[in-house]
Chains A and B, each alone.
Chain A
């Protein structure tokens, strides 16, 4: 690793910190624009939680001082107690939810990537054939269908009409439907991405060079085209991994999966502001970090990109 690369990585890490700081700041001030402030507005807040919050964040102090205190807490991943869930810290709630969500997301993304790359390459190599057209129509349909619709339709079909799979995510085998629902969009997206990038690569001059060297069609695809066409897929995978493992708000809601997405939605409907703030910041941090990692990895995979 040369000094240019180190400098680049340092720059990217610093930028990630700035982004996370921006998220915290935006979240804090946006939440404080709620009439009465996030911690004071609700009547249902338990006195114990309120007292704990007051002590922690000094709610009687000026706003800016509260902001600094909150920032300090956030640096230690300390976001205080939940307003609604008695005696539970925001961090614990998020960590509990993350376990389920991450498992769900990783499995879904593995399925999506494997099948997406395969279908996309197939569509590209069989361009303009019936197989290509069928793949494109189906993936376009999947990309156009919001996940809550896909989820509810699956729920309707498999759980309610056919009774083959449980509707509740906590039941045995209950994660199958949410995983499939979660996987379909990235699968369709990766298929389209792989196809278009494969077609793009196959039209490049260096493929012609390889052919002119006498390389067989099969080796052109395996050795020259596939790796290069996967570069956009990798750039997509990084952020997508971040999004998918941090919980799907909708899918977890539909299938009652006890993940972080459901916790977040519940915190919104229950106006549990400290949980909303904490979850937003933690999830955003995870996403930013994973983006950072995938960005750096991407530059390792593709030597063309100069590190500037």
Chain B
């Protein structure tokens, strides 16, 4: 049994302007100790998926349907009591912007110890010792002194280290990292990723890495989910997604990365803008921007299709390929039959 199973998750925000369907049927599994990447551009529903798992959506957001199972326990509709025990204990999260994610009027120590005291039986002294231990684990210098300081006395990279220490203090089974490096300098980004990899090796938790940076994904992830406009395009092992992409959006994403090999060549951006989540079209949400869009793409959303054991994709082009293969096969077999 997978550690985390997300099935057909639908999450919407109910605003004055109408229902914003932020997540429309996302599926994935996560096993113990694995790293899953969720990739997509802004507004594709990556973060909302993560917040749905922890049920920390904004007041207007609601899980409309679907199932989220953690260790076999259903979390959708499980109630606050259960969720409080999950949050920070079994599943932790680090956020995109470390500058605003820490309470500016409480000391770092206070904020670190809060979760420890909440989820473990440790005394205050033990919790403090644990917090200091966590701080040194994430390479914060002079942790005992740092405990008494306030967030504004920390740099962005340091704050993200604190966030990581806070998230891992109760040894969660799953760490969700919601674009953990987007707001940081490039050099700091590398340090933070390295730190996360190191901690993952040492502590063995599973990670859900949410990012729009394919480089990060390539470096860290075992499995990848590519999302567009709230629904998933394809998912599979990292190798499959990078070397055998079977969705036009993924292909576009990969084409748009500048590499050393592509120097001097023209980059291929994906043209157009993402669709309006308030008025989702009937067909495939990527169709308006897809160079290879077909008539059926506009009418019907593509269903998920197994490409192979490690790879699923939702693109009509795969159906077309399959169909053409079958047709040519049947032509061949018809010819063979004729000859026979």
Contacts and interface: CB of A to CB of B under 8 A. Distances in A.
Direct contact of A and B (CB under 8 A): yes
B19 to A, nearest CB: 18
Contacts of A211: 56, 87
Contacts of A302: 104-105
B88 A214 contact: yes
Interface string B42-72: 0000000000001010100000000000000
Interface stretch (B114-122, B264-272, B276-284, B297-305): B114-122
A303 interface: yes
Contacts, number: 76
Given A208-B101, A209-B103, A306 B92 contact: no
A43 interface: no
A214 B87 CA distance: 5
Interface residues of B, number: 30
A227 B152 CA distance: 17
B86 A303 contact: no
Interface in A200-221: 203-206, 208-217
A129 to B, nearest CB: 13
A224 interface: yes
A214 B104 contact: no
B104 A212 contact: no
A61 interface: no
Contacts of B101: 205-206, 208-209
B86 A304 contact: no
With a 10 A CB-CB cut-off, give which of B87, B92, B93, B103 has the most chain A CB atoms. B103
A210 B100 contact: no
A206 to B, nearest CB: 4
Looking at chain A's contact residues, is the secondary structure mostly helix, strand, loop, or mixed? helix
A49 B86 CA distance: 80
B85 A214 contact: yes
B242 interface: no
Contacts of A228: 103-105
Interface string B79-92: 01001111111001
B152 A210 contact: no
B119 A212 contact: no
B329 interface: no
Nearest to B98: A205
B104 A205 contact: no
A213 B114 contact: yes
Contacts of A227: 105
Contacts of B83: 214
B103 A214 contact: no
A212 B166 CA distance: 11
B2 to A, nearest CB: 22
A41 B303 CA distance: 94
A194 B56 CA distance: 24
Contacts of A210: 103, 114
Contacts of A205: 95, 97, 100-101
A30 B133 CA distance: 67
Given A205-B95, A208-B95, A216-B84, A224 B56 contact: no
Contacts of B100: 204-206
Given A205-B95, A206-B104, A224-B106, A215 B56 contact: no
A294 B88 CA distance: 38
A228 B100 CA distance: 13
Nearest to A127: B59
Contacts of B93: 212
A214 B58 CA distance: 16
A4 B54 CA distance: 42
Nearest to A128: B59
A211, A215, A216, most chain B CB atoms within 10 A = A211
Contacts of A304: 104-105, 150, 152
Contact of B118 (A204, A206, A214, A217): A214
B105 A209 contact: no
B26 interface: no
Interface in A275-308: 301-304, 306
Given A208-B95, A303-B150, A303-B152, A213 B118 contact: yes
Nearest to B118: A214
Contact of B104 (A203, A216, A217, A303): A303
Q: Name which of A205, A216, A224, A231 has the most chain B CB atoms within 10 A of its CB.
A: A205
B152 A215 contact: no
A213 B176 CA distance: 12
Contact of B87 (A203, A206, A213, A217): A213
B210 interface: no
Contacts of A301: 105
Contacts of A204: 100
A64 to B, nearest CB: 49
A214 B115 contact: yes
A203 B87 CA distance: 19
A214 B56 contact: no
Given A213-B118, A224-B103, 11 more contacts: A206-B101, A209-B101, A209-B103, A210-B103, A212-B92, A213-B92, A215-B115, A228-B103, A228-B105, A304-B104, A304-B150
Interface of A: 203-206, 208-217, 223-224, 227-228, 231, 301-304, 306
29 contacts: A203-B58, A205-B95, A205-B101, A206-B102, A206-B104, A208-B101, A209-B101, A209-B103, A209-B163, A210-B114, A211-B56, A212-B56, A212-B93, A213-B92, A213-B118, A214-B85, A214-B87, A214-B88, A214-B115, A214-B118, A214-B119, A216-B80, A223-B114, A231-B105, A301-B105, A303-B104, A303-B150, A303-B152, A304-B152
Closest 8 CB pairs of A and B: A213-B88, A214-B88, A214-B87, A205-B100, A213-B115, A206-B103, A303-B150, A304-B104
